[in-house]
Amino acid sequence: MVKLKIVPLIIANFYTSIIAGSIFFSAPAPAVTFALPSVGETVVGRNLIVPAKASETLLDIARRYDVGYSEIKAANPDIDLWLPKEGSLVVVPAQYVLPQAPRRGIVINLAEMRLYYFPEPSSAQPSTVVTHPIGIGREGWSTPLGRTSVISKKKNPAWVPPESIRAEHAADGNPLPKRVPPGPDNPLGKFAMRLGMPGYLIHGTNRPWGVGMRVSHGCIRLYPEDILGLFSQVKVGTPVNIVYQPFKAGIKDGILYLEAHAPLPELENSEQGALTSMVAAIVAITDKPIQDINWELAKRTAADRTGIATRVSEIDDGNSLSRAGRAAGYEYSKAEISYQEILTFKIPSGPIASLF
């Protein structure tokens, strides 16, 4: 059992906050809008640990914290997706390494199924980034890579399915009409933004469970509540950059983090190639000496592909913090946490266990 170094309790607003290494106990849900970090730093947010409630699925937790299906599943491989045990400690991967791309307009990373929006900064406000999970095109209907822009926006759009999609549905015994009017049966949801790539949209959905999955015909779909906010902010002409970065390395407070996501088979086809990509991501972001990087942990992170931003630079801080506390930052969320519960906190199973 790892001994956690406990510092004094602070009680406010009926929540208990404790700092134990890098494990923080709090109740608020994470933000989806973050102030951009200072020059040279590329990590925002903080990972969370939340207890599952009765009668909720991991998908319920994912939507509550604005993460997608693939993110919550990869971070919790040992927890039943549909029937998590009440009180199970669920990892919410809510810390993000920003993609290696210009911080302008919309950046979509297909590997992590996540969108980043960098609003135009104003003189009165700090620069920010907004991030949301997305659903993307399935194999055979892949979402294309490349640069484009938003060319039009439509509230309550009708859907005119292409002949290729109508033919596919007809072959499956589920024929589509030539035009699907706005409403609950419209897969575009209530808002759509057309891209300069012919036939591709960023839109809502009438099936929120598909966010974080490869289920579309190439379009990018968001939770209804996320597209509502994004639609109101994004202007026609906003640049869109669609990238594939399964490995992202970033810096926070001078510490190196690595984030690894499951590959898209059509874009990555060898384990050796994956390791090369991981090393390239790290080398591109840091000038740390090779010996200061924990390459064994980096390789394990690359192999596990949990999507959890993991600290991979060597640390010599001279105190008794646990390896988990040094490897990743977590927050434990619960409306009321007793002191005894904190003292008896157990190391969870799954991807976090290897970090303790």
- Which of the residues are catalytic? 203, 219
The tokens 């890579």 sit on which residue?
Answer: 145
Angle between helices 271-285 and 295-304 (to 10 degrees): 130
Burial class (CB in 10 A: 0-12, 13-18, 19+), 126: exposed
User: DSSP H helical segments within 161-233, as ranges?
Assistant: 163-171, 224-233
Report DSSP state, residue 271. H
- Spell out a b/e string for 260-289, using b for 16 or more CB atoms within 10 Å of the CB, else e: bbbbbeeeeeeeeebeebbbebbeebbebe
Report DSSP state, residue 198. T
**Diameter of the chain by CA atoms?**
67
**Nearest Cα to 121, choosing from 233, 236, 285?**
233
DSSP-derived secondary structure for 83-135: SPPTT-EEEE--EEEPPSS-SSEEEEETTTTEEEEEPPP-TTS--EEEEEE-B
Query: How far is residue 285 from each of residues 41, 83, 293, measured CA to CA in Å?
Result: 9, 40, 12
Helix (H) or strand (E) holding 149: strand 146-155
